[in-house]
Amino acid sequence: MRYQEDEEMIMSLKDWRQALRTPPTYRVGNSTLRIQTTFVTIIALLGLFILLILYTTSKKNPKIVGYGLGSNDIYRNHYFPQPHERLERITRYDSVDEYYNATYPLTPPINTPSGVKYRIGIISDLDTNSKSKLESNTWISYFKTGHLMWLPSTSSITVVWDRTDPIELKSTFGQSGRGMELSELVVFNGKLLSFDDRTGLIYEINLDSNIAIPWVLLIDGNGMTTKGYKSEWATVKGHKLYVGSMGKEWTTSGGELQNLNPMWVKVVTTSGQVTHLNWEEQYKTLRRAVGVEFPGYVIHESGVWSEVHQRWFFLPRRLSKKRYNDETDEFMSTNILLSTDQHFSNVQVTYIGEVIPTHGYSSFKFLPATDDSVIIALKSEEDKGRSATYITAFHIDGKILLPEIKVADLKYEGIEFI
C-alpha cells in the first residue's frame, strides 16, 4: 500500500510538470486555439523594431511647411520646415550623412497689405576706429538692424531702420593692433556669420545674446603664411561657404607687386574644415571682361553665387586701368555688375546707373523670392578720412528700383536678410 501511494505521488508530480510545459487549450466553436508564448514574443519584438525604425526615419526627415505668406505666386517654390527650420541632406567625404540648415531668411517674412516685410542687418568695418576707447585690448563693430518692405506688384522697395542704437559687438582678438573690421554678413547652416578682414577670423553673430563668437580662423594665401586672411566677400554654394578677398595682386602703396595672396579663395564646410583655392585665373578672367590687365586692377568686396542662375555675380568696388595708387584709389568706384557661369567661360557685363567716383559696392544680396532677379546692395564711401554708407536696389538687367539712400556716417560693409 505504501509503495502504491508513493508511485501515485510520483505520477502526480510528473503530470503537474507536464501540464506546466503544455500551453493551455481553449475551445472556440469547433476549433482549438493554442497561445504560443514564444511566437507571441517574437512578433512583439519585431513590431517594436519596426516602430523604432519609423520613429528614427521621421526624425531625420522633418515635415516641410510654408511660412504662411499666403498664396502669392512669388512664394510657390519657397517652403520652410517646422517649427522654423529647413534641413537638407548632405553627404560628407566619409559618406556620412549630415543635414544642412538651409533656413533663409532666419526670421520669417511677414505678408502685409503694403508688401512683404523682411528683417535685415548690416555690419560695420571701422578700420582703425574699431579700437575701443574704453576697454584695453578690445575692438568693436556695430550691427545695425531694420526692415525692408518689398511690394512685388510695383517693384517698390522701402527700408526702415530700427530706432534703437546699433548693437555693439566686441572682441579681444586682434592682429598688429587691429581687429573686428567686419567686412561681410552671410547666413550659413542656420547661423549668421561675419568676417574680420584683419585677423582672418570668422565670427558667429549670436542674435539672442548679441555677441560675436569666433568660429574659424582663415590664413592668408595658400594657408601656409603667418598672416590672417583679408576676407572681403562670402557666399554659400553647394552647402559650403566660399570666402574671397580683393581679387587683385597685393602691392605696395605705389603699386609694386608683393604677392598674390588676395587671389586665393577659401572653402569652408559646416564642420569648419578649410580648403584653399587658387583663383588667380578666375579673377583675371573677370577683369579682362572690362578691359583691365595688370598693373591695372579690379577690387572685389562683394560676390554671390546664384543657385537659380547657376552663375557667379560680382559688384566690383573699384576699377582702374592704371597702376594702383593709395591717393587716387578712393575715386575709382564702379557701376558694373559682372556675372559668369561656374567655369568662368562666359562673363557678362551690366551697367548700373552712373558712376559716383567715391561710392563703391561693399556687399549685396538677392532679394528672397524674386528668383535672384533683384539685388539689394550697400555702397560705402571713403573720402579724405570721411566715411559713409548708402543702400540701393536694382534689377540684374540694370534697372534701378531704389536710388541710393544714405544709411549712416559710418562704413558698413556687410548686409544680410536675418
- Binding site residue list: 183-184, 232, 301, 362, 413
Backbone angles phi, psi at 337, to 5 degrees: -115, 120
Q: DSSP letter at 322?
A: S
**Alpha-carbon dihedral sign for residues 366, 216, 274, 361:** positive
Cα–Cα separations (whole angstroms), residue 375 to 182, 391, 393? 21, 11, 6
| Whole-number Å distance between alpha carbons of 323 and 329 | 10
| Whole-number Å distance between alpha carbons of 188 and 104 | 9
The binding site for Ca(2+) consists of: 183-184, 232, 301, 362, 413
The neighbour count for residue 347, using CB atoms within 10 Å, is 18
- Residues 101, 354 contacting (CB under 8 angstroms): no
Cite the beta strand spans of 177-232 per DSSP E: 182-188, 191-196, 201-206, 211-217
| Whole-number Å distance between alpha carbons of 249 and 314 | 18
Residues 6+ apart with CB under 8 A from 27: none
Length of the chain: 418
- Residues 332, 361 contacting (CB under 8 angstroms): no
Question: How would you label 32-50 residue by residue, b for 16+ Cβ within 10 Å and e otherwise?
Answer: eeeeeeeeeeeeeeeeeee
